[in-house]
Structure 1
């Protein structure tokens, strides 16, 4: 009788342990990480753009948390994506500009780096990446090497908005249709197959990266007949007609992403997954559309009728920059189980914070490397008071394709200093508290207060360069 009682007791405890284990696993949130390409923070209806038709992005903003000061620390594709994956700066990863697959075939993100998809996979998540990679084209840089169980998309940075060439089941092939729709079809299929267990799906749209057209007729219709309002039509020699045309095409591409986000949200609703799924919308960097006389991102192009002269390192039509419009990204997160609808977060966060934040949100152990330069913003999503949160921002960008620069930037809530250590005549200082559009460069000011601020920010830049082991520091006199 005693033996039977012991067996029965063991069975009860074992069953309870199994139930708790299963229950904990079931409570792990799914993660749908939607990451677009070249989407400016201003180009969202919920952010106040008068023309952007983004009802589904707006829904994520409305039903979740909006970050008003989210930035990348390098305003171009490859380094920004590498930083997002690793929580380390591009200069530490030897990826300081976009990877050109035509001339940099052997360049990519070293898979020896710790990354958060691998951590989530080890924690029991089924992981997938659909869409753009742009961190190396060789097999040793394949997304599968970084913890993704599944990949469908393209390893290089570019593709066509219609009838793209994609890697599917390891085979590269041309697919008929619009690229955002094709990627979303596969994402929905992934969610349907993996909905019985926790999943991480990274969905990396190529849009709204140029070229923007064609898009579906319904995506173009809101913009076809409008005369868009542009930010600074009086900028000297601005090609207003061209800015307006590009604005319409760009926003139509944004809407093509938004329409497909609506399909994803509807699928989550139908599968009863919305409550326990973290839905993230963000982009790799920002974008300019006539702002400060340029279009594009950190490797900007003048959009003028007359161009400033070329210099030794800067071709005539180029305007490499670290404007806020290049650095600032859209960021909204919906997670009904945790985040109060309509939450607004004004603290500064960066792409270096994803490693720690995603693991924290998934209740997965955060390795020390994830918080060496980044930090978890999960407490902000939970509504916790973070009085010691540091809002200053350090960023870097060394261009080596269209131009040659070594730009380093330090930004506070009031001031912003950009040093180009290769072209010191390009240094910039802005009092962004009163000049948020960065229109008045104060670098040559002799005002003692401004000079002191400039020197302090310069020392902050040097200190950050030293901390991360930036090789450019060796060239600084």
Structure 2
């Protein structure tokens, strides 16, 4: 006669806590993720990039201990749409965020509630998530970072702040903090890391630096630059205001140094807590920066830095130079992943901020929801050294609407770059990157059959990408051409 199995449900009930504990212990093998993110960080402003006047020993150590992605880009070279694409793997035009969010003109604008982010997926997968620093994806409570997957937020919801004595939010309370902003943000990042938890963590630290205004900084960050006569990229550029460029370069480099020092504080804590071997450290930025390059300073919404500016046009005010130069769209990116990434290696494949969503999920072993809509691809195979097929074509967009009005759409290959402005006739640009990496010679008006063939091919790629994301600018362009 078979024995009764009435005890099985009771046994299962008794074993449930043990099984749960075993599952939690298994989860502990998942890597922690530290995502360090700066504001207006130029790849050229790193000693490791070859600019030896930069003081970046900590960031350079990440290059030596990890992998350096030399062709990492953002799909929009200004704060809010770049950050939106980072979090969602969608283009700003799909999200209704095409330029930086202006707090006075559009206080209700931002990331639509319910939009899926990688922070939310990691949170649902059991990660303890935190954001310290800049959000700039909406001011309202419905667009608060904690609505998009962050358990903890300390920082500021808008885009602007001060390099000293900033007004910040912590635990839902907004108040003024005393001290230098990079140091304050780092203090609270350390506080988050010092909390003991059974869960792996994913901490995003979004520094405001090196966004202008750059000063003040700590004395030790200013010391290497106060008497420096900095090298600048093209001092012979016609009518370049060399003195102003050099002054701004000194201040900018000092702000970069303040980030470097504070990143060192965080990495030191990881080492002290024996977390460094199981923590993926990522460093990147929302976009690049120009400092006299091509006669401008700033990012995609660039400003001329000349003694005499070109004339204004209907949609481009005097002093403005909206652009999609590589210095605006390329971002410094390095990853330290002990045991996985080969120390001191480089990857020259083209990646973008759209790729972070699937990459971070694969790093964490988290599943992408079946109904998720993303455009990026995980570059974990590249990090592991796999000989994976990879498309180096890169599509980007930028519709400016504050200082200027444009509808720029861009395709970049390893050899060429084509930029179309669908709003302003005469602003199209073509650069032969392999021969002209500084993008000094616009070939758009060339009568060369080879160049015209390239334009035709790249133009078709731009239109195909616009159609694929249902870009509203394409509809406007078609309506305009039919009138």
Say whether the 8 Å CA contact 1:247–1:289 is kept in structure 2: yes
Compute the displacement of 1:370 (Å).
5.8
Q: How does 1:65-214 map to 2 (within 5 A)?
A: 65-194=67-196, 196-214=198-216
* Residue number in structure 1 paired with 2:459: 458
Aligned partners of 2:282 and 2:196: how far apart in 1?
18
* Residue number in structure 1 paired with 2:441: 440
**Of 292, 295, 312, which residue of structure 2 is paired with 1:293?**
295
SS in 2 for 1:281: strand
Q: Aligned pair 1:424/2:425, yes or no?
A: yes
Task: Report Cα offsets for 1:417-456 as digits up to 9, x if no partner.
Answer: 0000111211100111100000000000001111111111
* Residue number in structure 2 paired with 1:407: 408
Compute the displacement of 1:60 (Å).
1.1
Q: How does 1:227-266 map to 2 (within 5 A)?
A: 227-266=229-268
Q: Aligned pair 1:312/2:314, yes or no?
A: yes
Aligned partners of 2:25 and 2:206: how far apart in 1?
31
Aligned partners of 1:298 and 1:205: how far apart in 2?
19
Say whether the 8 Å CA contact 1:67–1:330 is kept in structure 2: yes
Aligned partners of 1:26 and 1:178: how far apart in 2?
35
Compute the displacement of 1:475 (Å).
2.2
Compute the displacement of 1:197 (Å).
2.5
5+ residue gaps, structure 2? 478-482
Change (3 A) 1:22 1:138: closer
Compute the displacement of 1:23 (Å).
3.4
SS in 1 for 2:258: helix
Compute the displacement of 1:211 (Å).
0.1
* Residue number in structure 2 paired with 1:357: 359
Task: Report Cα offsets for 1:304-323 as digits up to 9, x if no partner.
Answer: 00100000000110000000
Compute the displacement of 1:409 (Å).
0.4
Say whether the 8 Å CA contact 2:24–2:198 is kept in structure 1: no
Aligned partners of 1:101 and 1:178: how far apart in 2?
23
Aligned partners of 1:377 and 1:180: how far apart in 2?
30
Aligned partners of 1:10 and 1:409: how far apart in 2?
59
SS in 2 for 1:425: coil
Say whether the 8 Å CA contact 1:34–1:282 is kept in structure 2: yes
Say whether the 8 Å CA contact 1:96–1:399 is kept in structure 2: yes
SS in 1 for 2:28: helix
5+ residue gaps, structure 1? none
* Residue number in structure 2 paired with 1:449: 450
Aligned partners of 1:456 and 1:6: how far apart in 2?
68
The alignment covers a number of residue pairs equal to 476
Say whether the 8 Å CA contact 2:24–2:199 is kept in structure 1: no
SS in 2 for 1:424: coil
Q: Aligned pair 1:379/2:381, yes or no?
A: yes
Change (3 A) 1:370 1:235: farther
| TM-score relative to the length of structure 1 | 0.96
* Residue number in structure 2 paired with 1:216: 218
Compute the displacement of 1:378 (Å).
0.9
Name segments (4+ residues, structure 1) moved above 4 Å: 5-20, 368-371
SS in 1 for 2:175: strand
SS in 2 for 1:426: coil
Aligned partners of 2:10 and 2:156: how far apart in 1?
55
Compute the displacement of 1:337 (Å).
3.1
Aligned partners of 1:342 and 1:9: how far apart in 2?
52
* Residue number in structure 2 paired with 1:332: 334
* Residue number in structure 1 paired with 2:480: none
SS in 1 for 2:226: coil
Aligned partners of 2:148 and 2:409: how far apart in 1?
29
* Residue number in structure 1 paired with 2:60: 58
* Residue number in structure 1 paired with 2:304: 302
Say whether the 8 Å CA contact 1:87–1:370 is kept in structure 2: no
Aligned partners of 2:12 and 2:77: how far apart in 1?
58
Task: Report Cα offsets for 1:214-252 as digits up to 9, x if no partner.
Answer: 000000001111110100000000000000000000010
Say whether the 8 Å CA contact 1:299–1:318 is kept in structure 2: yes
Aligned partners of 1:7 and 1:86: how far apart in 2?
43
Compute the displacement of 1:366 (Å).
2.2
Compute the displacement of 1:24 (Å).
1.9
Compute the displacement of 1:114 (Å).
0.9
Say whether the 8 Å CA contact 1:356–1:370 is kept in structure 2: no
